[in-house]
């Protein structure tokens, strides 16, 4: 892990970004999968009209960001062709952005990121942190949104594609090692020209981690926060949450409250209303504790 000193910050700096992305409250990012095979909502919004309608609903319910994805990253999922991913996401990104909704594109392809930014997206959410496409870092540094700023770039801890990630769970210390591996990717993105002020880190819950390892990563927040960057937490409906034997959306909301209390920039969720309530509780506890 890089040892250079950086200021600790849980929020994005304004620098031309919409105020809703830079305030002190933890944000809710609504999941919008335009896919037939995502693990939770695959096939529910796999046409552009259905996806656009659901994106509007998520925004109306209080989501500050709509994260549009055209490729499933559930364990075992096959990759889709680039043309198909573009066909799925671009009409949705374009229409939601036209309506003034902040859109993130969930993609591992530089070409899809570029086309989506051109269509109006403000955020690139790359679960591979640039590992899946060697051009992603340089492309993200080159791109400019319609606001004249670079896109916000979310970089997640990732070890391999969906067809192999369940085999990549060996760590000496999962919280420490996954944070160090993500820091290496963040340094690579910085070397490609991506600025810290537009970077967000994601610990990669559910990716190349066993159920118990996910809980250990969450419990050791000091490693999640070690990058000195805003944090996105994506636990929604994942297998390790479902294994508790309780309602998975209620359990997700509990993790959202915990994440907000610890200063997360945003939580990525399927069910907006309970998670919006949860992050408001977490925000209030954080402020009362003086954090």
Active site residues: 238, 268
Phi first, then psi: what are they for 85, rounded to 5°?
-60, -45
Q: Are 223 and 175 in contact (CB under 8 A)?
A: yes
């Amino acid at each position: 892990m890089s040892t250079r000193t950086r200021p600790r910050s849980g929020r994005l700096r304004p620098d031309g970004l919409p105020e809703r992305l830079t305030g002190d409250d933890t944000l809710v990012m609504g999941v919008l999968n335009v896919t037939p095979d995502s693990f939770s909502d695959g096939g529910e919004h796999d046409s552009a009209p259905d996806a656009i309608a659901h994106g509007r609903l998520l925004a109306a319910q209080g989501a500050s960001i709509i994260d549009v994805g055209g490729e499933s990253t559930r364990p075992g999922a096959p990759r889709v062709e680039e043309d198909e991913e573009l066909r799925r996401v671009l009409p949705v990104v374009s229409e939601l952005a036209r309506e003034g909704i902040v859109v993130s594109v969930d993609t591992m392809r530089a070409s899809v990121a570029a086309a989506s930014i051109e269509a109006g997206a403000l955020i690139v959410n790359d679960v591979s942190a640039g590992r899946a496409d060697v051009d992603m870092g340089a492309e993200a540094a080159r791109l400019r949104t319609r606001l004249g700023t670079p896109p916000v770039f979310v970089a997640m801890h990732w070890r391999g594609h969906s067809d192999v990630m369940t085999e990549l769970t060996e760590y000496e210390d999962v919280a420490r090692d996954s944070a160090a591996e993500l820091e290496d990717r963040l340094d690579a993105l910085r070397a490609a020209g991506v600025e810290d002020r537009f970077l967000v880190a994601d610990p990669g819950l559910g990716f190349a981690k066993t159920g118990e390892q996910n809980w250990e990563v969450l419990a050791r927040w000091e490693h999640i926060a070690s990058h000195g960057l805003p944090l996105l937490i994506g636990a929604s409906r994942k297998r390790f949450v479902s294994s508790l034997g309780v309602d998975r959306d209620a359990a997700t909301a509990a993790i959202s409250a915990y994440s907000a209390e610890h200063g997360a920039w945003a939580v990525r969720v399927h069910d907006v209303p309970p998670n919006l309530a949860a992050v408001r509780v977490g925000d209030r506890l954080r402020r009362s504790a003086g954090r």
